[in-house]
Structure 1
Amino acid sequence: MAQFSSNPIRSAVPFLLGLICCTPLAAVAQSLPPLPPVEPTLPTVNNSPNNSAINNSAVLANTVSRDYASSSYLLGPGDRIEVSVYSFPEYTGPMSVLPDGTIILPIVGKVMAAGKTTDQLTQDLTRVLNTILVDPAVSVSLNALRPVVINVAGEVYRPGPLQLQDATDVTGAAAYSPPYISEALVQAGGIRRTADIRQVVVIRELPNGNTVRTNVNLWDALWSATVPEEMLLRDGDLVFVPRLPEGEELVDNRLLATSSLAPDTVRVRVVGEVTRPGEVAVPPNSSLSSAVAIAGGPTDDARLKEVVFIRMDDTTGEVMQEVVDLRNLVDTYQIQDGDVVVVPKTTSGSVLDLAARLINPLNFLLNLFD
């Protein structure tokens, strides 16, 4: 007579093993619950009109959150990193991000590093090495940052590409300080007097291919008692300084001329009865008398009572000229880039005629044959 076990669980084990062995693997796989979908790490781009930071027809771009654009440092070609895999020295050591944005690991080959933070790269390396190693403990840190190269366009004196910083070693005691917009404008020669620093635009391309545009108001930094937020720049950023709307001027041009955003000097032509006539470089907040002094001062034959001040309007193209009395070498005029100061001689006839001859000598020669 067959004997049965009194333990029902032990009796059911052979039956279950036999059932599993006789069941096809495809049926077993279909019976398993599906894996949850992997959520993307990049933010969703909002293309609604209300989400646009600036309406500027020069560049059309999608807009993402400013918090994402100002997140942790993103790796790129030229960065030097330190990869450490515990107990696996062949995967440990310094590496450089190659021009194609990758790093190279033994057996694994190329792994994309550009556009990722060190934490994101650590997760990617852990996932990749987990296929060939047993429980790899991976860490990634920065050794040196690549140079910060940006482009500055618009109302600055020297637009074009700028290298704001060389490769920066971050392993020492000195803390890394990313460059600000104001530093870029200063290295671009300073802003022109026609610049609208209330609407400075920073255009940045994100790793997902989208572009974020941020509007920065630098005018508040010149007179406000509080320190406004100024955007930190990244390698590859574009800084655009727009022009003031036609007929509009900033409230205080002298404040702008004396600020750190202004150029060190502007070019002014001082001609006539001065010691060193020609183009001179003067500080942007200088007066007419200061420009005359920088040109060596007036000669003994100078008629300071009728000095001619000539300026071309940037918006209309009209030439404006005015007679100024500089006998006391004191005036309230603020010099601007491109101004002309004519110091006539005491024996000259018409002061304005002399100015016209100096500015347009071709017309003077033609008048000789009339």
Structure 2
Amino acid sequence: MLNLRHALIVLILGASPIAATPILAETKPVSSPLPLLRVDPSPNSAYVLGKGDRISIAVANYDEFNGERTLMPDGTITLPLIGSLAAAGLTTEELSRQLQVRLNKLVIDPVVTVNLIGLRPVLISVSGEVQRPGPRQFEATDGKANLLAAISSAGGITRNADISQVEVKRRSQNGQTTSRRFDLWKVVNAEQLPEDFTLRDGDAIVVPKLTGDAQIDRLAVARSSLSASAVRVRVVGEVTRPGEVQVPPDGSLSSAIAIAGGPTDDAKMNEVKFIRVNETGQAEQRTLDLRNLSDSTQVQDGDVLIVPKKPVARTLDTAGRVFGPLGFFLRLFTGF
């Protein structure tokens, strides 16, 4: 009936077949917000809209509805004559269909196109054997929050990480949690290319602890981009620059001493104390001979090295404090 009325108006007035001004089917005010039919996208479907996303809406021949919209914190957008619409949780195709259903009640034969033009920040949780577990936020400028990038943003993996069993948990729109496992050891070992897997807002990454039967070369992992760029080692005692130093994760204890400026002339390098906290939280101490500044012990975050002073140097230091620099040498010759 509405289409026939519109056709008669066009014939009488000589107007174009479709006017630029929307023709209202009824003038009743629309309540705000309007509920949308919720379509539950599968975990592997297209990009799901969320608060902060920017979209463009185009309705053919009805410019009043065209323009860019940003999803509000409550996940809604606002359009003329329609009011507030819930858009979060839908794909752009689903939102297009929902808008078309709503506009069919207001205008004639609307053709709606929705495009994603700006991505919201993606918040992802990273836990387990990483240096800095916790939530991580990404500016998803290219639409892809990479699994490797997410682990790197958490400071990289620890020495005890099992990268062959990395798990990604995702909650779907119906509240169910799905899980996928990724073998990143094959990526590090150049057996396969990284899988093109897109992380989504709310995903949780879990890096499990390495077990005894895992076939992983820790040194090769430490040299990979998954590891931290550096680990913290404290070197104290007879080194040029004592204190905390940043050591490459595949570095040795000797390299930590070298980064600290190397040993002083008074260093007793055959009795270097090495302290490390084990997996049970207990501090273990060993005495190492590092006179050649060469060893195969791979550093770990939190290691402590104590470089002692030679006994002769200690004696001279003690005498100097007691007698003063000149008095000590006088007493050596006078016997007092």
Same fold (TM over 0.5): yes
In the alignment, residue 227 of structure 1 is paired with which amino acid? L
Question: Where does the alignment leave 5 or more consecutive residues of structure 1 unmatched?
Answer: 1-39, 44-67, 169-175, 350-370
Give the alignment of 1:297-336 within 5 angstroms. 297-314=262-279, 316-336=280-300
The whole-number CA distance in structure 1 between the counterparts of 2:297 and 2:129 is 23
1:259 pairs with 2:233:
no
Find the residue that maps to 1:95 and give its secondary structure: strand
Deviating beyond 6 angstroms after TM superposition, the runs of 4 or more aligned structure 1 residues are none
Q: Does the CA contact (< 8 Å) of 1:216 and 1:231 recur in 2?
A: no
Decide whether the 8 Å contact of 1:181 with 1:230 is kept in 2. no
2-side partners of 1:238 and 1:82: how far apart?
Answer: 30
Which residue pairs with 1:97 in the alignment? 71
Select 2:181's aligned residue among 197, 215, 237: 215
Q: Which moved more, 1:285-294 or 1:148-157?
A: 148-157
Paired residues of 1:150 and 1:234 also in contact (CA < 8 A): yes
Shift of the alpha carbon at 1:192?
Answer: 1.0
Q: How does 1:220-299 map to 2 (within 5 A)?
A: 220-229=186-195, 231-245=197-211, 247=212, 251-299=216-264
Q: Unaligned regions of 5+ residues in structure 2, if any?
A: 1-37, 314-336
- Shift in CA distance, 110/177, structure 1 to aligned 2, threshold 3 Å: closer
Deviations 1:303-350 (A, max 9, x none): 112223222211x3343333322222122221111212121211089x
Please state how far the C-alpha of 1:134 moved relative to its aligned partner.
1.0
Q: Is the 8 A contact 2:119 2:143 kept in 1?
A: no
Q: In structure 1, how many angstroms separate the alpha carbons of the residues matched to 2:137 and 2:113?
A: 30
Task: Return the offset for 1:75.
Answer: 0.9
Corresponding position of 1:342: 306
Shift of 1:76: 0.9
Return the letter of the residue paired with 1:319. Answer: A
Aligned to 2:145: 179
Q: Output the CA distance in 1 between the equivalents of 2:233 and 2:214.
A: 21
Match of 1:70 among 31, 44, 65: 44
**What is the DSSP-based 3-state SS (H/G/I as helix, E as strand, rest coil) of the residue aligned with 1:280?**
strand
Partner of 1:144: 118
- Secondary structure of 1:320 counterpart: strand
Could you say which residue in structure 1 is the equivalent of 2:156?
A: 190
Retained in 2: the 8 A contact 1:149–1:165?
Answer: no
Q: Which amino acid aligns with 2:175?
A: G
- Report how many residues are paired: 277
SS in 1 for 2:94: helix
Query: Residues of 2 paired with 1:180 and 1:300: CA distance?
Result: 49
TM norm structure 1: 0.70
RMSD: 2.3
